[in-house]
């Protein structure tokens, strides 16, 4: 993790804090009012990446045309679309429940169709960029918000059950019939290579499995307390991005890794408390969507470094190097701060009441 990357990341943190502060100044109601406008803008930006030819503004980086570059700054719209999707689905859920006076099976199906409608375009545009990782993040966000949307479990249970069966069948097909899944499901050869190297990384250690074998070596060599800051010895290409947890495991050991996970856990528990105390469905849906985003990122990123999950380009929240990912998350933090500071009485009263009842 070079000094140059460190200095840039500090700049990204400062700019991210400014973004969060600026968003915090708007009330949740104003943010809700701008949601569809921002949604349209980022869909246009995603479509532009597909439509525009390769150039200095829309370069191909690591085989993907997913960024707009303006001088030294690169913007990845798909990262920001994660927060925008949480906002737009939260607004759809809140509006639907506000104007639905007699809930029924039909109204619940209508809500799911509305959610599918606003999710279809960004998911399609991301898939056209061959970005499966971000697509999975979108699906995690949708699943999280749908759970608190008020839709009956008579619908959700079969839906989630079918998704689990389909996912399990896909995994088994990939393991036992890779050629079939490549031809039928349209999985790319490089994606299949990632899966094969995940299942048996040491058989592909000189190719697709190199990152994973080195990651396992780095984390294992850190042992209990690590080798110390900047004393890492295992070489992992671009380890400051998606494989930053390998660096943490090697340099700070098991204890450092546990502390990091503890910080993430405290953050998630605080957000869950915020969601439980919120009586506004838009606010609650956004918080749950953001929790789903963080949970998926944390589980997927750390899971791929320890061979629990296949390798995807999913960064570790707030830790991995990169401007777009950090600014996107800080935009979400800005919305959370807006929810907290523009409706603080509810949370304070809840906490006070709970203390009085327990004492």
Residue closest to 84 by CA, chosen among 49, 35, 47, 129 = 35
Cα atoms in the 13 Å half-sphere on the side-chain side of 200: 4
What is the length of the chain? 359
Q: How far apart are CA 3 and CA 1, in angstroms?
A: 7
The helix-helix angle for 244-277 and 323-342 (nearest 10°) equals 20
Contact 122, 85 (CB under 8 A): yes
Residue 109 structure tokens = 């199906």
Contact 137, 81 (CB under 8 A): no
Give residue 203's pLDDT.
Answer: 82
Residue 274 structure tokens = 């915020």
Residue 1 has pLDDT above 50, yes or no: no
Residue closest to 89 by CA, chosen among 26, 153, 34, 146 = 146
> pLDDT class for 108, splitting at 50, 70, 90?
very high
Stretch among 69-73, 102-106, 211-215, 261-265 having the lowest mean pLDDT = 69-73
Residue % of the chain over a pLDDT of 90? 57
| Measured distance between the N- and C-terminal CA atoms of the chain, rounded to whole angstroms | 50
What three-state secondary structure class fits 144?
helix
**Which residue shows structure tokens 């963080």?**
294
Give residue 179's pLDDT.
Answer: 66
The DSSP H or E segment spanning 325 is: helix 323-342
Residue % of the chain over a pLDDT of 70? 90
DSSP strand pairing (73-75 vs 68-70): antiparallel
Q: pLDDT of 13-61, one tens digit each?
A: 999 999 999 999 999 999 999 999 999 999 999 999 999 888 888 888 7
Give residue 183's pLDDT.
Answer: 63
- Give mean pLDDT, residues 191-217: 82
* Residue of 101 and 350 predicted with greater confidence: 101
pTM score over 0.85:
yes
> pLDDT class for 199, splitting at 50, 70, 90?
confident
Give residue 8's pLDDT.
Answer: 87
Query: ∠55-56-61 over CA atoms, to 5°?
Result: 85
- Domain assignment of residue 127, given as a range: 3-358
Query: ∠248-201-304 over CA atoms, to 5°?
Result: 40
Contact 312, 133 (CB under 8 A): yes
* The most confident of 13-22, 131-140, 186-195, 202-211, by mean pLDDT: 13-22
Q: pLDDT of 145-162, one tens digit each?
A: 999 998 998 999 999 999
> pLDDT class for 180, splitting at 50, 70, 90?
low
Q: What is the number of domains present in the chain?
A: 1
Q: How far apart are CA 45 and CA 63, in angstroms?
A: 19
Give residue 72's pLDDT.
Answer: 80
The DSSP H or E segment spanning 73 is: strand 73-75
Residue 316 structure tokens = 């570790």
């Amino acid at each position: 993790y070079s000094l140059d990357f460190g200095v840039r990341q500090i700049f990204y943190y400062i700019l991210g804090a400014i973004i969060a502060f600026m968003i915090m100044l708007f009330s949740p109601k104003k943010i809700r009012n701008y949601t569809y406008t921002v949604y349209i803008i980022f869909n246009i930006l995603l479509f532009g990446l597909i439509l525009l030819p390769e150039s200095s503004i829309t370069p191909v980086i690591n085989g993907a045309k997913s960024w707009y570059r303006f001088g030294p700054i690169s913007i990845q719209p798909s990262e920001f679309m994660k927060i925008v999707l949480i906002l737009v689905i939260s607004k759809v859920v809140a509006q639907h429940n506000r104007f639905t006076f007699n809930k029924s099976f039909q109204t619940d199906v209508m809500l799911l169709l509305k959610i599918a409608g606003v999710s279809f375009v960004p998911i399609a545009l991301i898939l056209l960029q061959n970005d499966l990782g971000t697509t999975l993040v979108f699906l995690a966000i949708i699943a999280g918000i749908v759970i608190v949307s008020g839709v009956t479990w008579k619908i959700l249970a079969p839906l989630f059950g079918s998704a689990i069966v389909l996912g399990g069948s896909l995994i088994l097909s990939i393991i036992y019939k890779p050629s079939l899944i490549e031809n039928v499901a349209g999985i790319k050869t490089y994606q299949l290579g990632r899966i094969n190297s995940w299942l048996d990384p040491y058989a592909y250690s000189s190719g697709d499995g190199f990152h994973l074998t080195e990651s396992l070596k780095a984390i294992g060599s850190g042992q209990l307390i690590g080798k110390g800051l900047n004393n890492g010895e295992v070489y992992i290409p671009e380890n400051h991005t998606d494989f930053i947890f390998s660096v943490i495991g090697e340099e700070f050991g098991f204890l450092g890794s546990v502390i990091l996970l503890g910080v993430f856990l405290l953050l998630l528990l605080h957000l869950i408390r915020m969601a439980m105390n919120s009586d506004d469905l838009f606010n609650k849906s956004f918080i749950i969507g953001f929790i789903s985003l963080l949970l998926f990122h944390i589980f997927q990123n750390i899971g791929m470094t320890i061979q629990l999950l296949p390798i995807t380009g999913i960064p570790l929240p707030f830790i991995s190097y990169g401007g777009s990912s950090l600014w996107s998350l800080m935009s979400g933090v800005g919305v959370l701060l807006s929810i907290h500071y523009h409706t603080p009485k509810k949370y304070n009263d809840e906490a006070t009441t709970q203390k009085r009842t327990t004492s």
